[in-house]
Structure 1
């Protein structure tokens, strides 16, 4: 296959689609066999994989395609571990790209952005004027980008995956009249993601992201003198800033992100996660990625070093308490926290000296009652005007209460998911097991936690059965209609075959389509006869 130059900002899927468009066969199977040596290949617009084959097609290097034609810089940034980044890079050059998403931990992030291809109508017009055709841009395919950062226009989407644009290779073909109102926060987030992708393509930031977050949060007043996050204030500000991105109509981001429960984990430890979680916090703290990485790292004095404690056996704690040792003396001897010693004492009804100012015995019993029936800690805290930590400490002081609350939570989820599955099967009584699995959200939860009940409710597995044979007589008549509609001259049977779809029926199965083959011979004779 002829070499193709990678167009500015073009993604890997678009490069393969242009190669398919120039192919004389018009079959995605032939295109895959030619480019990748296999028929069963699907190129992902975000992480295409097969970079060695695509680099050979573009007469370029694997590293250039990795940085320019895929979201690798952003995804690797979210992994935050050198070994995981190396495993992702190795999977992208293998002949089988089925492990790319696994190494990128996309499924582990538990975030669904849908299977779509995105394009900007204004970019399409410019590309047609410059290069003669429209193509898919890498920056538009990035998760979280819903607005073109160049033209500030809402991106048009084309459904991909099962039941839509599946194995096919297509270039942008959407209606260019779409001109929806742009939401300012969506534009800000889209530009920040694209700028971060461009920045990470040039350098890899060194050091801890956790330290950078602490420094910026401290500068904005969200870190206490003890080094803790003022979480209630920060959560309120984050939700106020990004509220419009989680509207049902916009669907810019998955609703799971709207709680921002991932922020404390980002701040306190460098753990692998989806890059969109980093971007939401970074874009709130700074106006650009350059500004974020230019900031000073947090000093060691901002957050005092916290001693690591091991958890001793409760028997040893009880022995020291019976010897009338204080909580601090017990903690010092056993090298554990004072809170752990206090919890053990309360669980075993050992009287300890407490300097409570607000929590009375009546309030403590009220917390126990509310916790026993499964109320959330935050709701209890708000009702009684206490902190969540104080409520949790009372809950932990009651033996078995925490385990009982977990049991209640699992039972509630089990009931909810069972009801959801039954309702889905009532609405769609003819749905197969695969349809239920892909369209009912309760399926996977029940598969993990209630498999026996799930399998008892699912319909019988359907056997694939024997495929229907081809009705060549009908196909012969259809081909005749297509051939009669052809215009112009043809000088070869292959050219005629490509004009009617490129299925090679006229060449490989000529004895099964005699009428169409005879008509093709007549068309060929007219095209080759001298005028």
Structure 2
């Protein structure tokens, strides 16, 4: 157990705390410090994260745990939100042990961008640290790849004059205020570049404050899709409009900015980082590019946390039946939704069909939970609706307007369906030809006998009745026939046994 330790300051790297420990312990040889802190003289210091955390946590218990050190005093949270759950488990094992493979799992080797070859600091932060603690220390938010401004004071970061290329590989570099330039002059570059870089720095700092298990690659992807759908950048079939996304993304940033940040997008590359970041792929995307994505989507971490995961333009089923004449009105009994695209607006159109025969559609995407109870257009009322209408009308106690309110339709719709039951081409039921009534009854009996038959099958089974009704009573005929079924594979399945019986 260590006799004392320099407890890390707010957002101080573990590396920085050990550097201060080495200084105050009076050790001359850095291997002595490694032996005291890690019980090993062969550990190689690492600025961003480190290794052998299980031993370090034991040394600092009960004030610090492995997870608290990792989440509060390394840059790991900058990467954690965009890693898969399995990758996170592997990294926890890495930092507990010798750290082999740690940085390749993070993507800092192959996928690193805007790499920093030294330690950086904010002059104003150093001034505040001197006033509060009497010494400066290495802030983790200033060491993040891609971040060049201080999120707190909006000043460009400066490089500490001593770096790893001029020091021993086992040396812990401690900030010395005598070697630091504390002038607060702003960098001369386009104002719009500065504005975006400061916004990205603030997003990065917010990332560091998140619990390391708050997000994962999978949940981030679903949140992105929700926000892209709101911007009409997803098709009705849940595909991302990559061409439109590319153009919108490019127009969000000033010319030359993405190139400066080593994040230019090659439009024709099937695996450019913008396509990879929006797909369910295992490829790693640098967290700085996720920050660019969040900036494009106009999100900070607080608002992004509130975004619901995308489950399609109409959410996940089941969906309610909105047939006011049914006993299961507003009950979630519809298991599937057929999504098509509006020809003009390209917005998704959802069609919901209940077993009671009621079919309705509405334009999406749904934005509120109440949208599930919204009807855009009724495509079919169904037998249950018609039977209930006839039943209430037969009681004689309801006016047409009252029935219309009860059924949620226009008065003309009520009149239309009541009239179709008792009139044909201006004739009363008593004056309907007997042949017509017979063929009506025969066709209705056949439809009830074969409820799964399509219109084509009904026509093949009852060709004589079908043709007579088509010529003399087609409005009634089409009201009774099943809804037109779309062929899924462009093949017509013929029931040859039924056709043979019909043609005998």
Coarse TM-score class (shorter-chain normalised): 0.5 to 0.7
1:211-247 deviation line (CA, Å, top 9, x unaligned): 2211101112222344333333322332343447847
Which residue of structure 1 aligns with residue 308 of structure 2?
296
- 1:118, 1:155 within 8 Å by CA — same for their partners in 2? yes
Superposition pairs of residues 95-494 of structure 1, within 5 angstroms: 96-109=98-111, 111=113, 113-158=115-160, 160-163=163-166, 166-172=169-175, 173-181=179-187, 183-201=194-212, 203-204=214-215, 208-243=219-254, 246=257, 253-255=261-263, 261-273=272-284, 274-301=286-313
Q: Helix, strand or coil: the match of 1:78?
A: coil
Q: Greater strand share, 1 or 2? A: 2
> Judging changes above 3 Å, is the alpha-carbon distance between structure 1 residues 281 and 71 closer, same or farther for their aligned structure 2 residues?
same
More displaced, 120-129 or 23-32? 23-32
Superposition pairs of residues 20-35 of structure 1, within 5 angstroms: 20-35=22-37
> Judging changes above 3 Å, is the alpha-carbon distance between structure 1 residues 207 and 232 closer, same or farther for their aligned structure 2 residues?
closer
Distance in 1 of aligned mates of 2:147 and 2:298: 18
More displaced, 283-292 or 230-239? 230-239
Distance in 2 of aligned mates of 1:258 and 1:145: 23
Which residue of structure 1 aligns with residue 95 of structure 2?
92
Q: Helix, strand or coil: the match of 2:159?
A: strand
Distance in 2 of aligned mates of 1:332 and 1:164: 72
> Judging changes above 3 Å, is the alpha-carbon distance between structure 1 residues 165 and 280 closer, same or farther for their aligned structure 2 residues?
farther
TM-score normalised over the length of structure 1: 0.51
Which of 52, 64, 71 lines up with 1:67 in the alignment?
A: 71
Which of 4, 7, 27 lines up with 1:5 in the alignment?
A: 7
Which residue of structure 2 aligns with residue 454 of structure 1?
none
> Judging changes above 3 Å, is the alpha-carbon distance between structure 1 residues 161 and 257 closer, same or farther for their aligned structure 2 residues?
farther
Distance in 1 of aligned mates of 2:288 and 2:338: 29
Which residue of structure 2 aligns with residue 18 of structure 1?
20
1:471-520 deviation line (CA, Å, top 9, x unaligned): xxxxxxxxxxxxxxxxxxxxxxxxxxxxxxxxxxxxxxxxxxxxxxxxxx
More displaced, 204-213 or 149-158? 204-213
Q: Between Structure 1 and Structure 2, whose CA radius of gyration is higher?
A: 2
Q: Helix, strand or coil: the match of 1:296?
A: coil
> Judging changes above 3 Å, is the alpha-carbon distance between structure 1 residues 263 and 200 closer, same or farther for their aligned structure 2 residues?
farther
1:110 shift after superposition:
5.2
- 2:113, 2:146 within 8 Å by CA — same for their partners in 1? no
Distance in 2 of aligned mates of 1:224 and 1:34: 59
- 2:118, 2:163 within 8 Å by CA — same for their partners in 1? yes
Q: Helix, strand or coil: the match of 1:7?
A: coil
1:159-191 deviation line (CA, Å, top 9, x unaligned): 744446743222234211152237111000110
> Judging changes above 3 Å, is the alpha-carbon distance between structure 1 residues 101 and 206 closer, same or farther for their aligned structure 2 residues?
closer
Structure 1 stretches of 5 or more lacking a match? 307-328, 334-531
Which residue of structure 2 aligns with residue 459 of structure 1?
none
1:297-326 deviation line (CA, Å, top 9, x unaligned): 3233469999xxxxxxxxxxxxxxxxxxxx
Structure 2 stretches of 5 or more lacking a match? 316-336, 340-486, 492-504
Which of 78, 83, 86 lines up with 1:83 in the alignment?
A: 86
Q: Helix, strand or coil: the match of 1:106?
A: coil
> Judging changes above 3 Å, is the alpha-carbon distance between structure 1 residues 179 and 54 closer, same or farther for their aligned structure 2 residues?
farther
Distance in 1 of aligned mates of 2:275 and 2:217: 21
1:332 shift after superposition:
8.1
Distance in 2 of aligned mates of 1:47 and 1:131: 23
Matched positions, count: 306
1:194 shift after superposition:
1.1
Distance in 2 of aligned mates of 1:42 and 1:257: 36
> Judging changes above 3 Å, is the alpha-carbon distance between structure 1 residues 53 and 142 closer, same or farther for their aligned structure 2 residues?
farther
Distance in 2 of aligned mates of 1:254 and 1:298: 30
More displaced, 166-175 or 117-126? 166-175
Q: Helix, strand or coil: the match of 2:101?
A: helix
Distance in 2 of aligned mates of 1:258 and 1:151: 34
Distance in 2 of aligned mates of 1:301 and 1:247: 31
1:46 shift after superposition:
1.9
> Judging changes above 3 Å, is the alpha-carbon distance between structure 1 residues 301 and 86 closer, same or farther for their aligned structure 2 residues?
same
Distance in 1 of aligned mates of 2:168 and 2:158: 15
- 2:112, 2:145 within 8 Å by CA — same for their partners in 1? no
RMSD: 3.3
